[in-house]
C-alpha cells in the first residue's frame, strides 16, 4: 500500500516568515494530494489540494507544489500569522482510500 | 451548505459497554470514511464505504468494531465491549466523485 512521510513533525516560525511542510509518497498511481489544517478540538479542514496533472497551485498565502517524478509535494505558507498555528496533514489517494502523513504542528510566534 | 455532522460530540462510557457513533455525510456524497485519532496522533483509517460496494474494513482494529451505512447516507460505527484503549476521537469524512474529502467535527470517546 501507499506510504506517506511528512516532515517536519514540528515547526516554529516568526510571524511574517514563511513555513514549508514536505511530504513524500510511494504509489505512483496517486493522483490527488490534499492538505488539511486541524485546530485543537476540531476535525481536519481541507485548505488546498492539487491533482496530478498540475505542478503548482496557489490560493492567497497558501501554495502547494507537486513533483510527480520525485514523488513529493509541499505546502508553502507565506506571511504567516498566529491564526495559522495548527496541525497540518498531507494526504494522497488513488481515488479510493486516503493515506495521511503523520502531521506537522506549526506554531507561529507573534 | 451543511457539512458533515457527527453525534454525539462527546461520549463517556464504562469499560465493557457498547457505544454507537453516528455520522451524517454531506448530501450526495457517495463515499464515507471513519478514522480514529488518538491524542496528539495522526489519522488511523478504520473503514470506507463507496456507494453500494462492499465496504473496505481493512482498518478495523478488532471484531469489536463494526460499521454500517444505511440507504447510502447515514453511517453508524459501533464499538462493542469497549476498552480503555478505545478512547480517542472518532472522525467521519465524506467525499464526492471529485474526490475532495470533508471531515466532521468528531466524537470524543472516553472509556473509564
More confident residue, B96 or A79: A79
The cell for A103 is 502531521
pLDDT reported for residue A5: 95
pLDDT exceeds cutoff 90 at B65: yes
In which band, very low, low, confident or very high, does the pLDDT at B1 lie, cut at 50, 70 and 90? low
Rounded to an integer, the average pLDDT of B25-29 is 92
Give contacts of B107 with chain A, Cβ < 8 Å.
none
- Rounded to whole angstroms, the Cα distance separating A97 from B6 reads 20
Bridging pattern class, strands B107-111 and B10-13: parallel
Q: Which residues fall within 8 angstroms of residue A109, CB to CB, at 6 or more apart?
A: A12, A13, A14, A15
Which chain B residue is nearest to residue A10, measuring alpha carbons? B40
What's the mean per-residue pLDDT of chain B? 93
Count of pairs with CB atoms under 8 A, one residue in A, one in B:
46
Residues A86/A77, Cβ–Cβ less than 8 Å:
no
In which band, very low, low, confident or very high, does the pLDDT at B51 lie, cut at 50, 70 and 90? confident
For B51, counting Cβ atoms within 10 Å of its Cβ (0-12 exposed, 13-18 middle, 19+ buried), the class is exposed
Longest Cα separation, chain B: 41
Name which of B42, B56, B104 is nearest A100 (Cβ-Cβ): B42
DSSP codes of every residue in chain B: ----EEE-SEEEE-TT--EEEEEEPPTT--EEEEEEE-TT--PEEEEEEETTSPPB-TT--STTEEEEEGGGS-EEEEE-S--GGG-EEEEEEEE-TT--EEE---EEEEE-
Scan residues 69-98 of B and list those with Cβ closer than 8 Å to A: 91, 93
pLDDT reported for residue B98: 78
Residues B107/B10, Cβ–Cβ less than 8 Å:
yes
The cell for B12 is 463517556
pLDDT reported for residue A97: 85
- Rounded to whole angstroms, the Cα distance separating B56 from B70 reads 16
Give contacts of A89 with chain B, Cβ < 8 Å.
42-43
- Rounded to whole angstroms, the Cα distance separating A49 from B102 reads 12
Name which of B101, B104, B105 is nearest A98 (Cβ-Cβ): B101
Write the pLDDT tens digit of every residue in B68-89: 998 879 999 999 999 999 999 9
Chain position carrying cell 453525534: B7
| Angle (nearest 5°) at CA B104 between B103 and B109 | 120
CB contact under 8 A, B103 and A36: yes
Residues A61/A45, Cβ–Cβ less than 8 Å:
no
pLDDT reported for residue B72: 77
Bridging pattern class, strands A10-14 and A104-109: parallel
For A52, counting Cβ atoms within 10 Å of its Cβ (0-12 exposed, 13-18 middle, 19+ buried), the class is middle
Which chain B residue is nearest to residue A89, measuring alpha carbons? B42
Bridge partner residues of B109 (DSSP)? B11, B88
CB contact under 8 A, B102 and A93: no
Rounded to an integer, the average pLDDT of A35-55 is 93
Name which of A32, A93, A100 is nearest B43 (Cβ-Cβ): A100
Amino acid at each position: 500500500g501507499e506510504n506517506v512521510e511528512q516532515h517536519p513533525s514540528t515547526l516554529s516560525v516568526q510571524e511574517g516568515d514563511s513555513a514549508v511542510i514536505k511530504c513524500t509518497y510511494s504509489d505512483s498511481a496517486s493522483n490527488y494530494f490534499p492538505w488539511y489544517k486541524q485546530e485543537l478540538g476540531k476535525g481536519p479542514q481541507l485548505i488546498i489540494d492539487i491533482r496530478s496533472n498540475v505542478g503548482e497551485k496557489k490560493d492567497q498565502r497558501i501554495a502547494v507544489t507537486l513533483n510527480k517524478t520525485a514523488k513529493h509535494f509541499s505546502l508553502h505558507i507565506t506571511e504567516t500569522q498566529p491564526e495559522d498555528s495548527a496541525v497540518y496533514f498531507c494526504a494522497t489517494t488513488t481515488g479510493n482510500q486516503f493515506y495521511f502523513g503523520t502531521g506537522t504542528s506549526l506554531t507561529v510566534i507573534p | 451548505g451543511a457539512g458533515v455532522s457527527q453525534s454525539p460530540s462527546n461520549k463517556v462510557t464504562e469499560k465493557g459497554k457498547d457505544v454507537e457513533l453516528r455520522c451524517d455525510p454531506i448530501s450526495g456524497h457517495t463515499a464515507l470514511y471513519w478514522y480514529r485519532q488518538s491524542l496528539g496522533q495522526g489519522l488511523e483509517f478504520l473503514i470506507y464505504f463507496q456507494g453500494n460496494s462492499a465496504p473496505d474494513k481493512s482498518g478495523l482494529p478488532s471484531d469489536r468494531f463494526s460499521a454500517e451505512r444505511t440507504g447510502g447516507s447515514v453511517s453508524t460505527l459501533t464499538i462493542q465491549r469497549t476498552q480503555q484503549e478505545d478512547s480517542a476521537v472518532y472522525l467521519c469524512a465524506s467525499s464526492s466523485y471529485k474526490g475532495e474529502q470533508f471531515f466532521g467535527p468528531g466524537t470524543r470517546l472516553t472509556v473509564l
